[in-house]
Amino acid sequence: MITDNKSEAHLYAHAEADMTKGKIWRVFFYLLGLTALEFLIALGFVETGLIEKSLTVVIIYILLTLWKAFYIVAYFMHLKFEKKGMKVMLAMPLVLLVYLIVLVLIEGDYIGIFLYK
Amino acid sequence: MNATISKLDEVKTGNWSGGTSPFKVEYGKIMMWLFLLSDVFTFTGFLVLYGAQRMFIQDTWPNPDVVFQSIPGITDTGAPLVFVGIMTFILIVSSVTMVLAVEAGHRNSKKEVVKWMVLTIIGGLVFLGCQALEWTHLHHAGFWFGAIPDSYQGEQAMGATQFSSYFFAITGFHGFHVTVGIIVNIIILLMTLSNVFERRGTYLMIEKVGLYWHFVDLVWVFVFTFFYLV
């Protein structure tokens, strides 16, 4: 059994050498840039009162977060270079999460309105 | 008759009929991915609950820029986001050193793997240290599970209490993940040093713990947004 695992491991060990050092550092600077952008919005615009912390700002924050998450999952966790079956297997359950998030947030908001007004 | 049997006996070559693997990923790596998927569900459960509570009492929710405005040891007020910015930076850097360890593993270069793994572990420890400092600071300010400073009165107390409990629960759970990650990283480092992977001929284990470590970083990206920015 152990020998089997070993030979299997050998099979995949050198199948993916596509993340070169240069690429890794480039992704690092993307992540750093996106984080810096978030700080710019938070400290440069919202904190100084240039723009108000509205729903639009929150949506921008969330989009930047998802963008960062994409870089981490796709390049650092190497998912972009896996086979399609693997990507689909991992992405499909997340559809349910989106559904959960939308439902629960609407529900939370509704109860709030109900109590306060 | 003969033709039918030989057709049944034909070796299948398709992706989903047993010919080749549809995932083409080593067993342990698939299992790590599936574990992480289940962990995604756990953290989403926490964050969704947090979001629902925050929608529910949005009017009295404490302003994060007011709560998190200190740099422990330097200043107590007037520096929102700076300290957590440093923490985020440290975690991203330790994630990068982890990928570099994986990359070195692909080249079977033990020396480099050891170097990057040590840096990753140091990054994790520094992050935990920062988190401990922040927790201590907030605790001294009066925040704790179910406890809030006296400055929040009446209706304000409701939002602040929820905020406080969720903050410690969720960042605590994340910190627990970081702690486990550091322990696993240390184990892997020791295995590398004692030539276990050298003898095995492959550094795939580095990739598996790497996946876990990146996941910790991934969760922090979301925690950072929803607790500190929004």
Domain containing residue B129: CATH number: 1.20.120.80
Confidence tier at A115 by pLDDT (50, 70, 90): low
d(CA B88, CA B171): 13
Surface of B (84-103) touching A: CB under 8 A: 85, 88-89, 92-93, 95-96, 98-100, 102-103
B198 assigned to some structural domain: yes
B99 assigned to some structural domain: yes
The predicted model gives B149-173 an average pLDDT of 90
Asked if the Cβ–Cβ distance from A20 to B103 is below 8 Å, we say yes
Task: Say whether B191 sits in a helix, a strand or coil.
Answer: helix
Q: Which of A6, A39, A108 sits opposite B200 (nearest CB)?
A: A6
Q: Which residue on chain B is closest to A59 by alpha carbon?
A: B230
Q: What is the pLDDT of residues B135-157, one digit of tens each?
A: 999 999 899 998 899 888 887 88
Q: What is the pLDDT of residues B86-138, one digit of tens each?
A: 999 999 999 999 999 999 999 999 999 999 999 999 999 999 999 999 999 99
Q: Which of B103, B202, B230 sits opposite A10 (nearest CB)?
A: B202
> What pLDDT sits at residue B101?
95
Q: What percent of chain B has pLDDT over 70?
A: 98
Asked if the Cβ–Cβ distance from A61 to B230 is below 8 Å, we say yes
**How many residues does the structure list for chain B?**
230
B2 assigned to some structural domain: no
The distance of B49 to chain A (nearest Cα, Å) reads 8
The predicted model gives A1-5 an average pLDDT of 45
Cβ atoms of residues A33 and B97 within 8 Å: no
Q: Which of B225, B224, B38 is nearest to A97 (CA)?
A: B38
Asked if the Cβ–Cβ distance from B48 to A101 is below 8 Å, we say yes
- Output B215 or B75, whichever has higher pLDDT: B215
Interface check for B229 against chain A (CB to CB < 8 A): the answer is yes
The predicted model gives B9-24 an average pLDDT of 78
B63 assigned to some structural domain: yes
Average pLDDT, chain B: 90
Interface check for A103 against chain B (CB to CB < 8 A): the answer is no
The distance of B113 to chain A (nearest Cα, Å) reads 13
Q: Is the pLDDT of residue B12 over 90?
A: no
d(CA A105, CA A116): 17
> What pLDDT sits at residue B170?
96
Burial group, residue A6, by CB count within 10 angstroms (0-12, 13-18, 19+): middle
Asked if the Cβ–Cβ distance from B222 to A89 is below 8 Å, we say no
From the candidates A58, A72, A82, A98, which should be mutated to test the interface with B, based on the most B CB atoms within 10 A?
A72
> What pLDDT sits at residue B130?
94
Q: Which residue on chain A is closest to B217 by alpha carbon?
A: A72
In whole angstroms, how far apart are CA B206 and each of A5, A77, B101?
16, 12, 7
B83 assigned to some structural domain: yes
B7 assigned to some structural domain: no
| Token pair for B103 | 């990359």
Q: What is the pLDDT of residues B179-191, one digit of tens each?
A: 999 999 999 999 9
The predicted model gives B42-62 an average pLDDT of 89
Q: Is the pLDDT of residue B20 over 80?
A: no
> What pLDDT sits at residue A1?
38
Q: Is the pLDDT of residue B194 over 50?
A: yes
> What pLDDT sits at residue B5?
65
Domain of B85? 12-229
Interface check for B17 against chain A (CB to CB < 8 A): the answer is no
Asked if the Cβ–Cβ distance from A72 to B217 is below 8 Å, we say yes
From the candidates A8, A73, A76, which should be mutated to test the interface with B, based on the most B CB atoms within 10 A?
A76
Q: What percent of chain B has pLDDT over 90?
A: 65
Q: Is the pLDDT of residue A11 over 70?
A: no
Burial group, residue A34, by CB count within 10 angstroms (0-12, 13-18, 19+): middle
Q: How many domains does chain B have?
A: 1
Asked if the Cβ–Cβ distance from B41 to A85 is below 8 Å, we say no
Q: What is the pLDDT of residues A27-82, one digit of tens each?
A: 999 999 999 999 999 888 888 888 888 889 999 999 999 999 999 999 999 898 88
Range A74-111 burial, b when 16+ CB lie within 10 A, else e? ebbbbbeebeeebbebbeeeeeeeeeeeeebbeebbee
pTM for this prediction: 0.89
The predicted model gives A94-111 an average pLDDT of 88
> What pLDDT sits at residue A3?
43
Q: Is the pLDDT of residue B1 over 70?
A: no
> What pLDDT sits at residue A19?
79
